[in-house]
A and B are shown apart, each in its own frame.
Chain A
């Protein structure tokens, strides 16, 4: 059946810079912002933008992610025509291969895409936190008569060398693109969100398979299209956008939610972020609790001191606990007298009594966030230094 535009969500990356948090789950499945997982943001954006067909390309540790996405019902993507489809690598008569780069992953799913005979496809990553109306970007793409449109964000000059950086003319047409430049010529950074006119992209995907070692959008497809003078435009995005590919940026993005609703509003009825629900009772705030500037989710049982932190679903915080500027993931238990500062505590981990984890910037010289992976137990009396990670990887 015909769809004007379908989304392809690249969710196969390992997210190796999240270390302990991505040992057993793909990065898009990592919990975020209290009751969400990272992938809820692009998936909810699709639904809110009226895109009802989404292919999710998985490869690394897909179990948690597959379970979480299920039939797509929480995002209204359980459709008779379209809906969400999980697309792992597969075997064919001529052999089998893993996804080797972002472009190759799409190339291997050309048959999936062709079933919907789309005019356009939008390619998304599974590692960014942002709210964006893709339908406006697609409208921009159509209006420009573009072959490819890249969403861009203005970043600082220091940050620019981490991104794909482009230069535009006055009509927003891209004239130059450099992946991770040492000496950036501009500060327009690619957000890793692309709209392509499908028949054009398909040609480049096939050509690229014949010629090139690497098979990436940023390294191969975009430069090749630019070289051939295809019509490529930059679509500016001004809202909140954060790459949560490192432990620090993941922690920082959580802290950003606490700043104010203008930064990343999770309460906008016009742009809800959907997530799979765990059927937990409301949170209970006990008589000894003190909570300031924090987010707390269903199923929690809080009896300690919580300051500037995000407490995810089903967490227990016992009496006498101090939690400050921390991210406590689903089902964790923080036992009496433990102190957790500037830290990420993974899912279902247990922090026993009187453990000290992390420290504030003022309290230490070598400051960084402390991280406890999923399902770890930190024994009573142990001290986890700022910047330390358990398990060590």
Chain B
């Protein structure tokens, strides 16, 4: 069984800066997504479902919510004697602030990698929500005799939004060998976009981290994939399944709204590979007299008396009588009081919107209300 021979590494803080509103109080991995999940649920569940027995989560700052969420890893069946889940907070001896890149993040936890006797390492960031079987990718990696395999997906960049400026773009030949790498370019059209998911030989990973961190480099994509592509056997693996990649507030908004398309939801959540998350023991969602709900995702513990359309409601959201919520993302325990009206609003956890209050924005530029904020009655 080669999969017992695999170590998982998840970068919880990578890309924090791209959605700074949401990461002010948490890591990228603990951003709430899709009604009841946090982004780290996706790589963690994929690793667990792929039979990877040992997973390290590298984190650096704002990790209280992350620790609270993943706990001992039991929800992902990673609370085991051999292997299991390891939280790797900074081994803080020098710098502070955010990691500048994967190499720097890995340097801090190198003993964890060295102590593993795995042959392969699966690395994933938390900016992509998808369901993916790492076993298939490892099989390809072994078959190609590759040093590094980069998971990519086809994407058609248009001139809308952030475009390609937050992505690494690959070109591959007919054997899937990576021939060209562009880091955060500004281009249009259909290209191969890296999903920030990699399989790499553990010994090569150690060498790469030792060498490039000593030389002061931080970026894995630039230094390893781009500058040294001739020195390593780097292959691409095309992921054809459904995915969303979160790169700024707009892509965050769109990625959530995308789940209102039932076909997308079916592809992201299938019975054979469930996405696990922390259990909260909320009651069922309650629809009271006068409720009017259409085209929405609703989590357990919500109590609805008003109107909700085209929206995502996380656990424990309360919508009072006469309130109207359209095109909104309302995170845990948001309270919308009587006759308040919200259009294209994202509320963080425990936001209260007072009676008769009107908040409107556009779907292309949703209004964000930060955690714990109370907006008074009108």
Secondary structure call for the A interface: loop
Determine the distance from Cα of A297 to Cα of B276 in the docked complex, in whole angstroms.
16
Per-residue interface assignment for chain B, residues 262 to 304, with 1 indicating a CB less than 8 Å from any chain A CB and 0 otherwise: 1001001100001111010111111111110111111111010
Q: Which residues of A contact B289 (CB under 8 A)?
A: 292-293
Per-residue interface assignment for chain B, residues 307 to 321, with 1 indicating a CB less than 8 Å from any chain A CB and 0 otherwise: 000001100000000
Determine the distance from Cα of A274 to Cα of B279 in the docked complex, in whole angstroms.
10
In the complex, which residue of chain A has the Cβ closest to the Cβ of B304? A291
The A1-51 residues at the B interface (CB cut-off 8 A) are 33-35
Determine the distance from Cα of A295 to Cα of B304 in the docked complex, in whole angstroms.
10
Determine the distance from Cα of A266 to Cα of B316 in the docked complex, in whole angstroms.
12
Q: Is the CB of B284 within 8 A of A295?
A: yes
Q: Which residues of B contact A272 (CB under 8 A)?
A: 281
Cross-chain contact of B300 among A73, A287, A297, A310 (Cβ < 8 A): A297
Determine the distance from Cα of A220 to Cα of B212 in the docked complex, in whole angstroms.
80
Secondary structure call for the B interface: loop
Determine the distance from Cα of A236 to Cα of B296 in the docked complex, in whole angstroms.
45
Nearest CB in chain B: distance from A258 CB, A = 9
Per-residue interface assignment for chain A, residues 318 to 361, with 1 indicating a CB less than 8 Å from any chain B CB and 0 otherwise: 00000000000000000000000000000000000000000000
Per-residue interface assignment for chain B, residues 120 to 132, with 1 indicating a CB less than 8 Å from any chain A CB and 0 otherwise: 0000000000000
Tally of B interface residues using CB under 8 Å: 37
Residue B74 CB within 8 A of the other chain: yes
Q: Which residues of A contact B285 (CB under 8 A)?
A: 283, 295-297
Nearest CB in chain A: distance from B33 CB, A = 11
Q: Is the CB of B293 within 8 A of A310?
A: no
Residue A186 CB within 8 A of the other chain: no
Cross-chain contact of B74 among A73, A285, A287 (Cβ < 8 A): A73
Residue A273 CB within 8 A of the other chain: yes
Q: Which residues of A contact B313 (CB under 8 A)?
A: 282
Per-residue interface assignment for chain A, residues 266 to 295, with 1 indicating a CB less than 8 Å from any chain B CB and 0 otherwise: 110000111101011111111101011111
Q: Which residues of B contact A34 (CB under 8 A)?
A: 283-284
Nearest CB in chain B: distance from A75 CB, A = 10
In the complex, which residue of chain A has the Cβ closest to the Cβ of B313? A282
Cross-chain contact of A298 among B36, B290, B291 (Cβ < 8 A): B36
Q: Which residues of A contact B35 (CB under 8 A)?
A: 281-282
Q: Which residues of A contact B288 (CB under 8 A)?
A: 293
Residue B73 CB within 8 A of the other chain: no
Q: Is the CB of A293 within 8 A of B287?
A: yes
Nearest CB in chain B: distance from A23 CB, A = 25
Q: Is the CB of B291 within 8 A of A35?
A: no
Given A73-B74, A277-B279, A298-B300, answer yes or no on A284-B284 (Cβ-Cβ < 8 Å).
no
Q: Is the CB of A296 within 8 A of B298?
A: yes
Cross-chain contact of B34 among A275, A280, A282, A296 (Cβ < 8 A): A282
Q: Is the CB of B287 within 8 A of A35?
A: no
Determine the distance from Cα of A286 to Cα of B295 in the docked complex, in whole angstroms.
4
| 13 pairs, A vs B, C-beta closer than 8 Å | A33-B284, A35-B283, A267-B286, A279-B276, A280-B274, A281-B269, A281-B297, A285-B296, A285-B298, A294-B287, A295-B284, A296-B285, A298-B36
A→B interface (CB under 8 Å): 33-35, 73-74, 266-267, 272-275, 277, 279-287, 289, 291-298, 301, 306, 310
Please list the 6 inter-chain residue pairs (A to B) with the smallest Cβ-Cβ separation, ordered nearest first: A282-B35, A266-B283, A34-B284, A295-B284, A279-B274, A281-B269
